[in-house]
Amino acid sequence: MKLAVYAFVLLSANLASAQLSTPAQGEYVTTDASWGTLEVQARGKFRIETIGSNGHICALDGVITNGKSKLENSACQVSFEAEGKDVNVLLNDHSACRDFCGMRAWFEGLYRKPPPLCVSKNIEASRKKFKKEYVAKNYSAALATIEPVATQCKQFLYWITSGWILNDLALTQFKLGDRAGCIRTLQGLAPDAALSDEEVKGNYPPTDADNYLPVVQATRTNLRLCTKK
């Protein structure tokens, strides 16, 4: 009986330790309030960057060894726990780790593995291709390029970037005569578009408002186009 108990405890310990490991190389994205990325490179090198409210950021890097990284010149230790293909970033000392962040940003949490289409470099490539097709008035090709990004990658996009991409999609739908599709695409942005600029500024922290207001203004313009008879 004692041997069985010992074996069970040993197995449990091994399973617990197995959860902490160096994540596979690539990009991971968090979808909580402090949006950001975890980039894992060769030999366990990593970098985390997040954006919180009012433009506050976190930025840190290091090397992962046995699922952990002791940050240089700091008491902050970051652990990386596998959750399927995703990675849960855990901290040993929240006060020490806060040194790497602005007041309204944070980096602890679950970082999800995006599908290939939604990796940042591929999103950037899609947006460049979209712009080229749109400027050339190849609207069907432009739609085929940007629509999957707008719909399939929304949860992996920074919220202001998502707003711009939705406006790109809506305007392309308008150019193709799909007014109803344009309106559906912008429905999530419509409540803010119905507000005045001053009301939008009052609803968001100053830096967020400055960055978001051009999206709101573009949404107003595109909704007028799509609803005009």
What region, left, alpha or beta, does residue 146 occupy, with left being phi > 0 and alpha being psi -120 to 50 degrees? alpha
Question: What is the distance between the alpha carbons of residues 21 and 79, in angstroms, rounded to a whole number?
Answer: 8
CATH code for 2-113? 2.40.128.50
DSSP 112: B
Question: What single letter denotes the amino acid at residue 55?
Answer: G
Question: What is the distance between the alpha carbons of residues 88 and 82, in angstroms, rounded to a whole number?
Answer: 6
Cβ neighbours for 196, distance < 8 A, ≥ 6 positions apart: none
DSSP 3-state of 85: coil
User: Which tens digit of pLDDT belongs to each residue from 64-116?
Assistant: 999 999 999 999 999 999 999 999 999 998 999 999 999 999 999 999 999 99
User: Which tens digit of pLDDT belongs to each residue from 134-162?
Assistant: 999 999 999 999 999 999 999 999 999 99
User: Which tens digit of pLDDT belongs to each residue from 160-211?
Assistant: 999 999 999 999 999 999 999 999 999 999 999 999 999 999 999 999 999 9
Of 108, 107, 112, residue with least CA distance to 23: 112
Question: What single letter denotes the amino acid at residue 179?
Answer: R
pTM of the prediction?
0.88
pLDDT at residue 9 in the model: 43
Count the neighbouring beta carbons within 10 Å of the beta carbon of residue 88. 15
* Distances 61 to 37, 47, 54, 109 between C-alpha atoms, Å: 12, 4, 23, 16
